[in-house]
Amino acid sequence: MAEFLQAYLAPWWLAYVVAALVHAVLLINVVAVGALIFIWLERKVSGRIQDRLGPTRVGGKFGWLQTLADGLKLITKEDLMPEGADGMLFRMAPYISFCASFAGYLALPFADNWVGARLNTAVFFILAVLGLEVFGVILAGYASASKWSLFGAMREAAQVVSYEVPLGMCAVVPVLIAGSMDLVTIGQMQHGWFTNWFVFHDPFTFITFWVYFTCATASVNRAPFDLAEAESELVAGFHTEYSGLRWSIFFMAEYGSMFAVSGLAAILFFGGWNGPLPITEWLGLADTTNPVLSYLGNFIGMLNFMFKCVFGVTFMMWVRWTLPRLRIDQVMTTCLKYCTPIAAASFLGATLWTYFLPGGLILPNNAYGLVREGQLIDGPYPPADAEGPSKETANEKTAGTGDLISQVAGEHRGRD
Amino acid sequence: MDAINWHSFFFLFFALLACGFSLAVVMTSNIVHMAFYLTLALGATSGLFFLAGADFVGAMQLLIYVGGTLVLLIFGVMLTAKGPFISMKTSAGDLVLGAGVGGALLVLLLAAATQVDAWRVSEPSPPVAQVTASRLGMALLGARVDKLDEKDPVQARGMSGYLLPFEIVSVHLLVVLIGSAYLARPKKRMVGGPVDTA
Amino acid sequence: MNLLTQPVGVSHYLIVGAIMFVAGVVCMATKRNALGVLMGIELVLNGANVNFVAFGSVYLRPEVTGIGLDGQLVALFVIVLAAAEAAVALAITLNFYNNHSTVDVDQADELKG
Amino acid sequence: MATQLDDPRIIEFDVRTDEMLVNMGPQHPSTHGVLRLVLRTDGEVVSEVTPHIGYLHRCAEKIGENLTARQWIPYTDRMDYLAGMNMNLGWALAVEKLMNLELPEKARHLRVLIVEMNRIASHLVGMGAYGLDLGTFSPFLYAFREREKILDLFEEVCGARLTYSYITVGGATADLPTGWIETCERFLAQLEPVIEEYHALLTTNAIFVRRTAGIGILSPEKAIDYGCTGPVLRGSGVDHDLRRDGEQRYTEMYDGYAFEVIVEKNGHYPKDHNYPAVPGSAVLGDCWHRFYVRMLEVMQSIDLVRQAIDRYSMATGSWGEPIKLTEKLPKGEAYLETEAPRGQMGFYVVSSGSGAIPWRVRARSSSFCNLSVTHDLCRGCLIADVPAIVGSLDIVMGEIDR
């Protein structure tokens, strides 16, 4: 894009700035508009679940503009800060939350190679950045100088730190199967029929997905794990003292991270932008050099991805409006006694499964092969070029460290 | 005019953030603000790691350091941040002493950092990105895939990888886990009596 | 030298590392709050980490293959050990706080002869 | 051998956290109005809960000493404003006892019908609000949906939706409108299956059971000592219901009605309906049992309303014309307790015999006694349990503060 713009913009560096801005604006719009739509959706979904209509008037029949109207109202509201509050931290906290939530989108691919920045460690990057959201919450709770807020912050700190452990473990399982932490690669590996999705790879990945989703719900603070804001106990928890725009920024962050973890779930387990049927391949939209066709294929992929994300978010809403809230000790028990051991066991199980049956459950030795180092390798495992000239050397030099290691080491050598 | 080197530009950005917030940690006396600045400093450092091509280390810095250790630290700060402990002033003598020693140390280190010519500049066009995550994993398991072709015996040293340190760290973490659980275990105290440290 | 147009070298990373290191040392020396001292330690370790990563970076020193991954590996170990160290230090601090109702390190002088 | 742990002077402590005094209320989402609870907390653990009341005090009793018996009826509505009909009934019966007034048969059945309907409405709110206390919003609206229908029915009867002043000394202000009985029957037929949904949403929900079972256990002895009544008492396994055990003047209203007191006897609840099973983790007297008793009483009330409809339709004569507004009260005193949805509601009236205005009027509130166990139940629980326990007592501040 920058190269394209360079032809038109006189100061050459402006092209980069404009390109960067366009990317940033695109992403921030996904978050902001996404939050608007999700808040509207949440109202509609909760309304329908509760046997009422939800918003019906603002902006036409379905209340499309309700969130916007609320946003306008929130902007005009007085921005209050308690007297004893720590001014700087109180003001910073919502933006920290929002930035953390927003930064996760940087590495989230919306379609094949449609990604802000293709990172080699995208999975961990997203998890790490989303985990930073907790700082905003803790600081907000502390800086508010309110006991209820402090309670909320303490709960959040304990909860999120604990849930990062099983969450990370669950995310590692698809990484293990794909052999890459690059989300684009992981998505590409699952193309074709829905049976190639990692959730159907083996029984352990299926279990892992549910553990992942539970932990993700907990780590983005959604009911039944919304202890940090538990309105029946802590008034409003960490955002008790917030009002107006700052308050709404907390909500943007919450919906932003809901979408992000759903997106991560879609890519890690549900094939990302690949539909259940390889329609884009039938239409000749995949692997084509024609830019228009490839754009069209990617666009369909993006719709697929969006649909999966929205489904994930709606699922979280459904859970929220159905279940009572857990108590703090029960939340910790769920994490430490159930999620972590299950995640660890399925990690082990998936490891063994991948070692013995690398092709997965439905299609043993499927044609798509394994991916190493971000490259798609066709052909069976181990790749043919692992038998490179230096395999012997590799074996010699890593004697005693096991077959698998020398094999992969040889493979590396062959590639380098 | 030369083209802006974006690597340098972002380096400058993150370096200023990291240094600025590190100094802010020293300057402020409010413990909660300190923790906050430390978070930002370490976050900026992870940006530096990304820039230096160490993706995995950068992500780990964010995940373990910023997301785990610092949350723990802030947790500890919040447990103990009460009244007089929020801002404890350092005596002027200590400050002068610290600044003097620190300044001297800084001069020494900066001199050392800028002494070697080969360190000052890098290749104008850095090589293509390398994926380091699986290499690091292999190295931790004892196979140095980046040194397979090394002929120089000095450079080839360390071929055995990091299997032993890796194991030691694992055991160490276990020990720490048990140790800190032991230290923070519930203790018994007599009502109205002295603390029983049993 | 214009930093915006010239490529940065290892030296620049080392300067950042040095500043963080010194900030950490001063922090350790002057803070009276035990947790402040702990934060100083974290800064020192991070300063060292910047150096390790810089020396091991292929971007900055393509001509030297010797250190290769070592820099990153050591940095990883430092991160992990720093987490362990922080956990233990925090446990000690909280214990101290339990027994003495303070986190002032100047008060921890019971062993003074 | 006595170990260190047996020594009561040795307490365990974790990280030293200073005690904190937190005000829960009077503006708090889950204190059911304007209750103020002062919590002494150590971290998440609550060591002491002190309820502070009086934010809704309106001198209702003093006002009653300046009004005639029938004029005070609207003030009783505002006591337990979720069960206005039951409040009306309590006062009306007390005054009737003082005046020694006998009611026509039709009036008795009419009162049972209306009062039991209101009990359903009141328990529905209790159920929905309890869900809210535990962090689930949907059951609240489900409960209000059904309650709306009851309020619609009441509106047809007396024109009011919350403060009815319908049951009055001597009977009721009016007879039921034509066609009302059929609407009511249709409503009952529709309500019955919906109760199953509530059981699925709350009573048997795993998280709900975890949040309530074994929490806030009130032993039967303690319940009696504190003067707890209603579902709180029966949830502790004490077989006591004024509709069966009360004063003759009150129980004769329910003469011939088939109903079983909802209480756990010999390890099981009445089996007249297909109730969900008691979970293994529930202990008699905990929050779950109090909630369960309320849910079962809804079914019981549905049965009672059906029986009352039958009897009312068969009965002949007057619906019970109210006494004159300025009817002179005889000299004497009368006290009568009725089984309101939240427990035993007693009204005490003393007349000097000099006119229509009673000399003294007092009310005994069930919620007041039920609330008094709060500090006992909440000692040592977590913060999240406080709304769970207070919610399970199902208090109404209007009745406590009067």
* Lowest mean pLDDT, pick from A114-128, A147-161, A374-388: A374-388
Q: A412 near A391, Cβ under 8 Å?
A: no
> Which candidate in B85, B86, B134 is best for mutational testing of the C interface (most C CBs within 10 A)?
B85
pLDDT of C20 higher than 70: yes
- Cβ contact (<8 Å) for B11 and C98? no
Residue in C42, C50, C80 nearest the CB of B48: C50
- Cβ contact (<8 Å) for D13 and C98? yes
The residue behind tokens 């802030």 is: B74
- Cβ contact (<8 Å) for B67 and A373? no
Residue C106 lies in a domain: no
Task: Indicate the SS3 state at residue B82.
Answer: coil
Assess whether D249 and D384 both reside in one domain.
yes
**What is the Cα–Cα distance from B141 to B123, expressed in whole angstroms?**
32
Q: Which subunits count as partners of chain A given 3+ CB pairs below 8 Å?
A: B, D
CATH code of the domain in which D81 resides: 1.10.645.10
Tell me the shortest Cα–Cα distance from D14 to chain C, in angstroms.
Answer: 9
For residue D37, give the DSSP letter. Answer: E
CATH code of the domain in which C18 resides: 1.10.287.3510
pLDDT of D69 higher than 50: yes
Assess whether D75 and D192 both reside in one domain.
yes
Tell me the shortest Cα–Cα distance from A299 to chain B, in angstroms.
Answer: 28
Most confident by average pLDDT, A106-110, A314-318, B79-83, C32-36? A314-318
Residue-wise pLDDT for B65-112, tens only, equals 877 788 888 877 877 766 666 666 777 777 788 888 888 888 888 887
Residue in B39, B55, B71 nearest the CB of A119: B55
Contacts of A233 in chain D (CB under 8 A): 30, 383-384, 386-387
Residue-wise pLDDT for D336-354, tens only, equals 999 889 888 889 999 888 8
Find residue D51's DSSP bridge partners: D37
* Lowest mean pLDDT, pick from A126-130, A366-370, D387-391: A366-370
- Cβ contact (<8 Å) for D15 and C101? no
Residue-wise pLDDT for B161-195, tens only, equals 777 888 888 898 888 888 877 776 666 555 544 44
pLDDT at C54: 82
Contacts of C40 in chain B (CB under 8 A): 25
Q: Quick one: average pLDDT of A19-43? A: 80
- Cβ contact (<8 Å) for C97 and D13? no
Between residues 167 and 226 of chain D, which touch chain A (CB distance below 8 Å)? 201-202, 205, 207-208, 210-211
Q: Quick one: average pLDDT of A325-343? A: 87
Assess whether D118 and D256 both reside in one domain.
yes
**Residue C55 vs residues A178, A290, A345, B113, D189: alpha-carbon distances, Å:** 31, 43, 39, 11, 80
pLDDT at A10: 56
pTM: 0.80
Contacts of D14 in chain B (CB under 8 A): 184, 186
Residue-wise pLDDT for A380-407, tens only, equals 333 333 333 333 333 333 333 334 444 4
Tell me the shortest Cα–Cα distance from D147 to chain A, in angstroms.
Answer: 14
**What is the Cα–Cα distance from B106 to B97, expressed in whole angstroms?**
14
**B186 and chain D: CB distance < 8 Å anywhere?**
yes
Assess whether D46 and D82 both reside in one domain.
no
Find residue D333's DSSP bridge partners: D350
For residue C33, give the nearest of C94, C103, C97 by alpha carbon: C103
DSSP letter string, C64-97:
--SSTTHHHHHHHHHHHHHHHHHHHHHHHHHHHH
For residue A40, give the DSSP letter. Answer: H
For residue A311, give the nearest of A280, A276, A281 by alpha carbon: A276
Assess whether D162 and D239 both reside in one domain.
yes
Contacts of D288 in chain A (CB under 8 A): none
Tell me the shortest Cα–Cα distance from A413 to chain B, in angstroms.
Answer: 7
**What is the Cα–Cα distance from D88 to A293, expressed in whole angstroms?**
77
Exposure on the CB side of residue D165, measured as CA atoms within 13 A:
11
**D325 and chain A: CB distance < 8 Å anywhere?**
no
> Which candidate in A17, A119, A120 is best for mutational testing of the B interface (most B CBs within 10 A)?
A120
Chain D: residue whose CA lies nearest to B82: D18
**Residue D286 vs residues A328, D213, D220: alpha-carbon distances, Å:** 19, 6, 11
Assess whether D112 and D217 both reside in one domain.
yes
Q: D144 near D194, Cβ under 8 Å?
A: no
pLDDT at A182: 81
**D135 and chain A: CB distance < 8 Å anywhere?**
yes
> Which candidate in A232, A323, A329 is best for mutational testing of the D interface (most D CBs within 10 A)?
A232
More confident residue, D5 or D377: D377
Most confident by average pLDDT, A65-74, B109-118, D137-146? D137-146
Q: Tokens standing for D321?
A: 């014309």
Q: B94 near C112, Cβ under 8 Å?
A: no
**What is the Cα–Cα distance from C80 to B48, expressed in whole angstroms?**
18
More confident residue, D117 or C99: D117
Count the neighbouring beta carbons within 10 Å of the beta carbon of residue C30.
22
Q: Tokens standing for D97?
A: 């006892």
ipTM, 2 decimals? 0.78
Assess whether D140 and D186 both reside in one domain.
yes
DSSP letter string, D235-260:
HTT----HHHHS-HHHHGGGTT----
Residue in C6, C77, C80 nearest the CB of B8: C6
Contacts of A218 in chain D (CB under 8 A): none
For D330, list phi and psi in degrees, rounded to 5.
-70, 155
For residue A166, give the nearest of A225, A90, A244 by alpha carbon: A225
For D280, list phi and psi in degrees, rounded to 5.
-65, -30
Polymer length in residues for chain A: 416
Kindly report the average pLDDT of chain A as a whole number.
76
Assess whether D318 and D183 both reside in one domain.
yes
**What is the Cα–Cα distance from D110 to D313, expressed in whole angstroms?**
10
Using a CB–CB cut-off of 8 Å, the residues of A that contact D are 46, 49-52, 147-148, 151, 154-155, 223-224, 226-227, 230-235, 321-330
Q: What are the residues whose beta carbons fall under 8 Å from the beta carbon of A38, sequence distance 6 or more?
A: A255, A258, A259, A313
Assess whether D47 and D68 both reside in one domain.
no
Assess whether D186 and D157 both reside in one domain.
yes
Chain A: residue whose CA lies nearest to B6: A16
Contacts of D28 in chain A (CB under 8 A): 235
Most confident by average pLDDT, D147-151, D193-197, D396-400? D147-151
**B183 and chain D: CB distance < 8 Å anywhere?**
no
**B192 and chain D: CB distance < 8 Å anywhere?**
yes
Given the DSSP bridges, would you call strands D332-340 and D10-13 parallel, antiparallel or unpaired? unpaired
Task: Indicate the SS3 state at residue D344.
Answer: strand
Q: Which subunits count as partners of chain C given 3+ CB pairs below 8 Å?
A: B, D
Contacts of C101 in chain D (CB under 8 A): 16
**C41 and chain B: CB distance < 8 Å anywhere?**
no
Exposure on the CB side of residue D289, measured as CA atoms within 13 A:
29
Q: Tokens standing for C31?
A: 């803070």
Write out the residue range of the structural domain in which residue D114 sits: 58-400
Write out the residue range of the structural domain in which residue C16 sits: 10-101
Residue C97 lies in a domain: yes
pLDDT of A222 higher than 80: yes
- Cβ contact (<8 Å) for D9 and B79? no
Residue-wise pLDDT for C34-52, tens only, equals 888 888 888 899 988 888 8
Chain A: residue whose CA lies nearest to B163: A401
pLDDT at A365: 42
For residue D206, give the nearest of D299, D137, D141, D136 by alpha carbon: D136
Tell me the shortest Cα–Cα distance from A99 to chain D, in angstroms.
Answer: 29
Domain count of the fold of chain D: 2
Between residues 64 and 83 of chain C, which touch chain B (CB distance below 8 Å)? 65-66, 68-73, 75-77, 79-83
pLDDT at A184: 83
Tell me the shortest Cα–Cα distance from C113 to chain B, in angstroms.
Answer: 22
Assess whether D175 and D322 both reside in one domain.
yes
Q: What are the residues whose beta carbons fall under 8 Å from the beta carbon of A232, sequence distance 6 or more?
A: A325, D29, D30, D132, D133, D134, D135, D387
Assess whether D44 and D63 both reside in one domain.
no
Residue-wise pLDDT for A266-293, tens only, equals 888 888 787 777 777 777 666 667 777 7
Task: Indicate the SS3 state at residue A116.
Answer: coil
pLDDT at B3: 61
**What is the Cα–Cα distance from B141 to B144, expressed in whole angstroms?**
9
Domain count of the fold of chain C: 1
Contacts of C103 in chain B (CB under 8 A): 80, 85
Exposure on the CB side of residue A347, measured as CA atoms within 13 A:
17
Chain C: residue whose CA lies nearest to B184: C91
Measure the N-to-C terminal CA separation of chain C; round to a whole number of Å: 56
Helix axes C10-30, B6-27, angle to 10 degrees: 10
Q: Tokens standing for A92?
A: 């910073």
Measure the N-to-C terminal CA separation of chain D; round to a whole number of Å: 55
* Lowest mean pLDDT, pick from A200-209, B160-169, D231-240, D340-349: B160-169
Q: Tokens standing for D397?
A: 């501040």
